[in-house]
Amino acid sequence: MQYLSNIIFTSLLIATSLTFYFRVKKIRRNIFFGVGYKRINNKWERLKIMMLVAIGQSKMAKRPISAALHIVVYVGFVIINIEVLEIVLDGILGTHRLFAEFLGAFYGFLIGFFEYLAFGVIVVCAIFLSRRFSKRIKRFDGVAMTEWPKKDALIILYSEIVLMTAFLLMNAADFRLQSIGYDGYIQAGSFPISKFLLPIISDLSAENIFFIERGCWWFHIAGILAFLNYLPFSKHFHIILAFPNVYYSKLTPNGKFSNMDSVRKEVELMMDPNADPYASPPENTETANGTSVFGAKDITDLSWKSIMDSYTCTECGRCTDQCPANQTGKLLSPRKIMMDVRDRAEEYGKRVDKHGRDVTKIKTLLNDYISMEELWACTSCNACVEACPVNNDPLTVIVDLRRYLVMEESKATSELNNMFGNIENNGAPWAFPAADRLNWADEED
C-alpha cells in the first residue's frame, strides 16, 4: 500500500510538472514572437535593480499599508515552499518529516515559523478579499477589469486561504498523532498556531486523525501542484516573470525615447554633404516576420520585452490610477494596453499552433484591440511606467503603435499634422516664421 501511494504521488508530480513546463514553453514562444531587444549591458546594475524591485518590492513602498500586507503574502509564499520540498521528498520516498533528524532543533523553529507565516497569509488574504468586496478602491474596476480578471484575483485569494488552512490542520493532526505515539510519527516540529486546532480533533479516534492528517497532506500538495499549473494562465504568473522582466527593464531615464536605426541612418545620410544623393536608402533592420515596418501594428512588430511586460502585468491598476488622461475621463488605460498585448499574443499563438508561423492575420493589435483614440489620449508623461511595481513600460507600446500610424499610415491627428507642417515650413511648431518670434517683445515695449 505504501509503495502504491509513492507511485501515485510520483506520477502526479511528473504529470503536473510536465504540464507546467509545456505551458511555460508556449508562453516563452509567444514572447519571442516579438522582435529583437538590445538591453544586455550593465549586468551588475540590472542585478541591483532586480534585487530592489523584484525581491525587495521597493516600488510598492509608495503605498506602505498595501506594501506591508503584500510582503506578508509574498514572503509566506516563497518561504513556505521550502516546506513543500520536504513534502515532495516524503511523497517520493515514503518517509515522514524527512528533514527533522538532519536539522535537529532548528527544524522545530522552521515549522513554527512556517505556521506563523501561514496564519499571516490567511489574515492578509482575508483583508484583501474585504478590500475587493468593499468596492471602495477605484483601481480594482475599469474598462479592462471584465468578469475573468476579477474572478482570477478571487480564485488566488481563496486558494491561498484554503491551502494554508489545510497546512495548519495537517500539522494539528500530526501533532496529535505524535503526542499519542502513533506508529511512524516521530516527535518533530513546533506547532504554535496549529495547536489551537487540537480541540477540533481531540475527541476523534487515532485512525480518524490519521486519515485527516493524510487527507490534508494530499490536499495540500495536490493543491500546490494545481496552483502551480494555474499560475501561467493567471496574472499571478508575475511571481516568476517579475525577475527577468525587471532585469531587462530600461536603465535610461524615463521619457527618453529610442530612435529607430533605419530612420537615424536615413537622416544622417541626408545631412552628410559627402553622401551619394543617388544611393539606395539604408535597409530597415527592424523587421517583423521578414517584413520592413516602421513602428508596430501587431505583436510581431513589438519587442519581445514589451510582450514579456504584458505577461508580467499584475493587473493592479496602479498605472491607470496614476494616468492623467484616464483621470480626466479619456479612454486610455495603461493596464488595458498591457492586457491587450497579452490577449493578442495568446490569440496569435493559438492560430500559429493551428496553422503554423505563416498564418494569415485576421486581427491585429492596432485597431482590433487598441484604438487610435486610446493611443492619442496618452500624454507621454511616464506616470504609468513610474507607478508599475514590476517595471512594465506601457508607453513603449503606445509610442510604437503611434509610430506605425504616423509613418506607415499617415494617420496623425489634425493637431499633429499642423505642427508637422509648421516645423517643415517655419522650423518650429508655431504658425509664424522665425523672423516674427520676438514680436511679443515689441508689444511689451
Q: At 247, list the grid cell.
A: 532585469
Average pLDDT of the residues of the chain: 87
**At residue 281, does pLDDT exceed 80?**
no
pLDDT higher at 208 or 105: 208
pLDDT mean over 90-101: 86
User: How confident is the model at residue 321, as a pLDDT?
Assistant: 93
Indicate the pLDDT class of residue 16, thresholds 50, 70 and 90.
very high
Q: Residue 444 region, left (φ>0) first, then alpha (ψ -120 to 50), else beta?
A: alpha
Indicate the pLDDT class of residue 354, thresholds 50, 70 and 90.
confident
For 345, residues 6+ apart whose C-beta sits below 8 A from its C-beta are: 30, 31, 33, 299, 307, 310, 311
H or E segment to which residue 287 belongs: strand 287-288
**At residue 285, does pLDDT exceed 50?**
no
pLDDT higher at 274 or 107: 107
User: How confident is the model at residue 256, as a pLDDT?
Assistant: 75
Question: Pick from 249, 265, 333, 310: which is nearest to 42 by CA?
Answer: 249
Of the listed ranges 308-317, 392-401, 403-412, the least confidently predicted one is 403-412
pLDDT mean over 24-38: 89
Cα-Cα-Cα-Cα dihedral sign, residues 198, 81, 234, 74: positive
Cβ-in-10-Å burial (0-12, 13-18, 19+) of 269 comes to middle
What distances in angstroms separate CA 129 from CA 77, 132, 425, one per listed residue? Answer: 17, 5, 59
Please report, rounded to a whole number, the percentage of residues in the chain having pLDDT higher than 70.
94
Q: At 382, list the grid cell.
A: 511616464
User: How confident is the model at residue 413, as a pLDDT?
Assistant: 86
How far apart (Å, rounded) are the C-alpha atoms in residues 30 and 352? Answer: 10
H or E segment to which residue 291 belongs: strand 291-292
Cβ-in-10-Å burial (0-12, 13-18, 19+) of 244 comes to middle
**At residue 173, does pLDDT exceed 90?**
yes
In this prediction the pTM is 0.87
Chain-centre distance for alpha carbon 313: 4
Domain definitions of the chain by residue range: 2-31+63-247, 261-270+281-426
User: How confident is the model at residue 43, as a pLDDT?
Assistant: 87
User: How confident is the model at residue 289, as a pLDDT?
Assistant: 47
User: How confident is the model at residue 84, as a pLDDT?
Assistant: 85
pLDDT higher at 286 or 118: 118
User: How confident is the model at residue 93, as a pLDDT?
Assistant: 87
pLDDT mean over 234-245: 92
Instruction: Tell me the three-class secondary structure of 318-378, residue by residue.
Output: HHHHHCHHHHCCCCCCHHHHHHHHHHHHHHHHHHHHHHCCCCCCCCCHHHHCECHHHHHHC
pLDDT higher at 284 or 398: 398
pLDDT higher at 77 or 190: 190
CATH class (in words) of the domain with range 261-270+281-426: mainly alpha
User: How confident is the model at residue 73, as a pLDDT?
Assistant: 86
Please report, rounded to a whole number, the percentage of residues in the chain having pLDDT higher than 90.
49
**At residue 288, does pLDDT exceed 50?**
no
Of the listed ranges 170-179, 200-209, 266-275, 422-431, the least confidently predicted one is 266-275
